[in-house]
Amino acid sequence: MKILHPLKPIYDENSKVLVLGTMPSVKSRENDFYYAHPQNRFWKTLSKVYEEEIGISNDERKDFLIRHKIALFDVLKSCDIEASSDSSIKNPIPNDLDEILNNSKIEKIFTTGKKAYDLYMKLIYPKTKIEAICLPSPSPANCPKGIEDKLFTEYSQILYFTNI
């Protein structure tokens, strides 16, 4: 099914780090916010990294991101995708990141998962020339044993770049 990205980027003029997923999941599209699946570990991991409760409302999550200078968006503007399966993505069209990059202080770009990284490097990096760091996917589909420790370790890089 062809999906057009339904969410606006979250950022402000002080954002230093841009975190990019591939495309909002079915649950995220239903809830009109990023990483909305209750079993997705994105928000839990950031809460642990920043040692702060984030809350579950979209406003609380947005406030957390802005307060910590984190911008959030996705690599793709549209694609053909089955449910929320990144491995099924076909006909990817990239988002234009100019609005975010020109109106913030982005110093580092991270992707949440290998598919987002590969798509970013192929479709967007040639224009931005900002290399991305690939973080493990927080998706419930990516559930190896002990992933929480790896997520915490890898996502802690965001803390470094937002505090410099």
Burial class (CB in 10 A: 0-12, 13-18, 19+), 35: buried
Render each residue's pLDDT in the chain as its tens digit; 164 residues: 899 999 999 999 999 999 999 999 999 999 999 999 888 899 999 999 999 999 999 999 999 999 999 999 999 999 999 988 888 999 999 999 999 999 999 999 999 999 999 999 999 999 999 999 999 988 866 555 566 778 888 999 999 999 86
Model pLDDT, residue 134: 97
- Cα separations (Å) of 144 from 39, 42, 87, 113, 150? 14, 15, 17, 14, 10
* Both structure tokens of 85: 């399966």
Give CA–CA dist 147/107, Å, rounded.
27
Domains present along the chain, CATH in parentheses:
2-163 (3.40.470.10)
Model pLDDT, residue 1: 87
